[in-house]
């Protein structure tokens, strides 16, 4: 006995996404992105401020080490400005040898308050004047302290 098999052909469904599916996906991504901006914005500001403070501290320590090593038989110092830090050779920023300047840029516009220049003595690495550097970005701030012995804290 032979049974005839009936084969039913299913219509072929087109592969891909419909325009409505694509628009819904894009709308969902846009909503998620819009919600995440206010959440992550303070974290980005804090990160920019933290990296600027780290760059400043590294420049302070480098200037101190160069002064202790009596590199080029001179004192070394830093000048902090809104666009970054300048490591310089000389007794003061205005009296420096510009051929030895090393620039380190800040990632964003940081406001500088308090002392903006430190010079370290040869051999001892002591600073010619202790003080603080306050870096401010919007409502966040970071204070870097340099004592008379040249120790840097933040």
Give the domain CATH number at 118.
Answer: 3.55.40.10
Pairing of strands 140-146, 152-153: antiparallel
Residue 103: beta bridge partners?
Answer: 86
Please check whether residue 139 lies inside any domain of the structure: yes
- Cα–Cα nearest to 57, from 145, 147, 131: 145
Look-up: residue for tokens 């600073």? Answer: 127
Torsion angle defined by CA atoms of residues 88, 136, 133 and 119, in that order, rounded to the nearest 10 degrees: 10
Please check whether residue 34 lies inside any domain of the structure: no
pLDDT band at 10 (very low <50, low <70, confident <90, very high): low
User: Strand, coil or helix: what is 130?
Assistant: coil
Please check whether residue 145 lies inside any domain of the structure: yes
Please check whether residue 65 lies inside any domain of the structure: yes
Domain that holds residue 126: 45-153
What are φ and ψ of residue 142, in 5° steps? -140, 130
User: Could you tell me the maximum CA-CA distance found in the chain, to the nearest angstrom?
Assistant: 111
Number of H helices, E strands in the chain: 1, 8
DSSP conformational letter for 74: S
Pairing of strands 97-105, 84-89: antiparallel
pLDDT band at 109 (very low <50, low <70, confident <90, very high): confident
pLDDT band at 154 (very low <50, low <70, confident <90, very high): confident
User: Strand, coil or helix: what is 150?
Assistant: coil
- In the chain, pLDDT over 70 holds for what percent of residues? 94
Taking the C-alpha atoms of residue 35 and residue 48, their distance in angstroms, rounded to an integer, is: 21
The whole-number pLDDT of residue 66 equals 95
Residue 143: beta bridge partners?
Answer: 134
Please check whether residue 106 lies inside any domain of the structure: yes
Please check whether residue 10 lies inside any domain of the structure: no
């Amino acid at each position: 006995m032979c049974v005839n098999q009936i084969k039913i052909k299913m219509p072929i469904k087109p592969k891909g996404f419909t325009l409505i599916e694509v628009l819904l996906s894009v709308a969902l991504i846009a909503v998620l992105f819009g919600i995440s901006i206010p959440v992550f914005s303070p974290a980005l500001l804090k990160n920019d401020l933290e990296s600027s403070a780290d760059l400043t501290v590294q420049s302070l320590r480098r200037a101190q080490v160069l002064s202790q090593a009596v590199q080029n038989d001179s004192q070394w110092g830093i000048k902090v400005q809104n666009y970054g830090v300048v490591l310089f050779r000389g007794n003061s920023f205005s009296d420096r040898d510009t051929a030895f300047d090393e620039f380190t840029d800040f990632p964003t516009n940081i406001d500088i308050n308090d002392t903006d220049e430190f010079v370290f003595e040869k051999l001892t690495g002591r600073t010619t004047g202790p003080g603080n550097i306050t870096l401010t970005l919007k409502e966040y701030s970071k204070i870097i302290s340099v004592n008379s012995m040249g120790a840097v804290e933040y």
